[in-house]
Amino acid sequence: MTTTSFYPLLAALAAYLVGSLSFAVIVSRVMGLNDPRTYGSGNPGATNVLRSGNKAAAVATLLLDALKGYVPVLLAVVYGPRFGLGEGTIAMVGLAAFLGHLWPVFFGFKGGKGVATAAGVLMGVNPWLGLATLVTWVVIAAFFRYSSLAAIVAAVFAPFYQLLIWGGGPLALTVAAMGLLLVWRHSANIQKLLKGTESKLGQKAVAAHTHAAKHAPKRAPDTQSRHSTKHGAKQ
């Protein structure tokens, strides 16, 4: 086995490690915000960071999560051919970066849902495919105001765009795999959408202690104090 045969694996490993950088947590720490895993949906992603009320942190998270999917793929596209890396390696690099976001080695393998990172991968693989998927997300989000619904619809449509316009191959398999994983990661959101309890875009998270206090069982009145009060009134 030659040295060059290890290049695809090394490229995929590097992409996975980059994808493992949970920028929702990193940005929140840098900006002095609560850990996004402790409020709202508990998901370390841009949408949940937005629930903190800090739009700058949410935008930074969104861009960085997208870039960690885009940059590894772009590097594989630009520099891969000189190392004999083709479409199969590019597809593997994109999927590895996406899997790193879902199961980050640096954060206990507990990551986000991968919407922004998947968008970055698509932009790196094929900008037109990425743009078509992004437009789908924007249209659904603008009409229904549910980020999760927009992500699910975009994840379903992306593989069909790839197959119908650009054909099959390794890239189509990667797009399909990311789409299936995105829908699966949104299973809890699907249940909330069906029940009508899903949070809309921009809706602030309710603090955990406030939620607990609101739903805590009411304390029963002190029967001894009530008896003493009645007894005093009679006297």
Residue 121 contacts by C-beta under 8 Å, 6 or more apart in sequence?
69, 70, 73, 94, 95, 97, 98, 174, 178
pLDDT in tens, 44-55: 999 899 988 899
- pLDDT-derived band at 179 (thresholds 50, 70, 90) equals very high
Q: Is the pLDDT of residue 211 over 70?
A: no
Compute the distance between CA of residue 179 and CA of residue 94 in angstroms, rounded to an integer.
13
| pTM of the complete model | 0.84
Q: Is the pLDDT of residue 163 over 50?
A: yes
User: What are the C-alpha distances in Å from 145 to residues 58, 77, 109, 169, 187?
Assistant: 16, 35, 30, 34, 18
- Between 39 and 2, residue with greater pLDDT: 39
Domain coordinates of the chain in residue numbers? 3-208
Q: Is the pLDDT of residue 212 over 80?
A: no
- Give the pLDDT of residue 224: 46
What sign does the dihedral 144-147-150-152 (CA atoms) show? negative
pLDDT in tens, 60-100: 999 999 999 999 999 999 999 998 899 999 999 999 999 99
